[in-house]
Amino acid sequence: MISKDADPRAVAQFFVEARRAASAMLNNVDLVLTPAADMVMALYTTQDTNIGIERSNLYGATDVPGYVARRWLDVLAERQVVDFTVDGLVKLRADAVEALDAYFSEMSSLTRG
């Protein structure tokens, strides 16, 4: 369960785990998120927003082949959700982090009843 004072990233991690559990209960049919959303959640929940994650590690956050994950990552870049660092790492853009912070803060407040 989510505590009343939960950090937005902890709330996001809760949602990731809930999605995985729902997928497993539905015979691994992913009806909830796309590979792009899986990658955004991986970036949001596991990274220091100033560093980034290697592309191959990010592809591993999805349940699709690497070439499909790469296409979705390109979509995220085109829509200015992620940036690529000079050393090839992927990171969320600052405005995306702010939007996700606000979203998961709101989700946390909804669980307070």
Instruction: Output the pTM of the full model.
Output: 0.74
Q: 86 in a domain, yes or no?
A: yes
Q: 3 in a domain, yes or no?
A: no
For 66-101, the pLDDT digits (tens) are: 999 999 999 999 999 999 998 889 999 998 888 888
Helix (H/G/I), strand (E/B), else coil: 6: coil
For 18-57, the pLDDT digits (tens) are: 766 666 655 555 555 678 888 888 898 875 656 789 999 9
- Count how many domains the chain has: 1
Sign of CA dihedral 85, 87, 90, 94: negative
Q: 104 in a domain, yes or no?
A: yes
Of the two residues 64 and 104, the one the predictor is more confident about is 64
Q: 72 in a domain, yes or no?
A: yes
> What is the C-alpha to C-alpha distance for residues 100 and 85, in angstroms, rounded to an integer?
21
Q: 103 in a domain, yes or no?
A: yes
For 65, other C-beta atoms within 10 Å of its C-beta total 10
Q: 1 in a domain, yes or no?
A: no
pLDDT of residue 109: 67
Q: 2 in a domain, yes or no?
A: no
Q: 106 in a domain, yes or no?
A: yes
pLDDT of residue 79: 92
Q: Which domain range does residue 72 map to?
A: 8-110
Residue 15 maps to which CATH number? 1.10.10.10
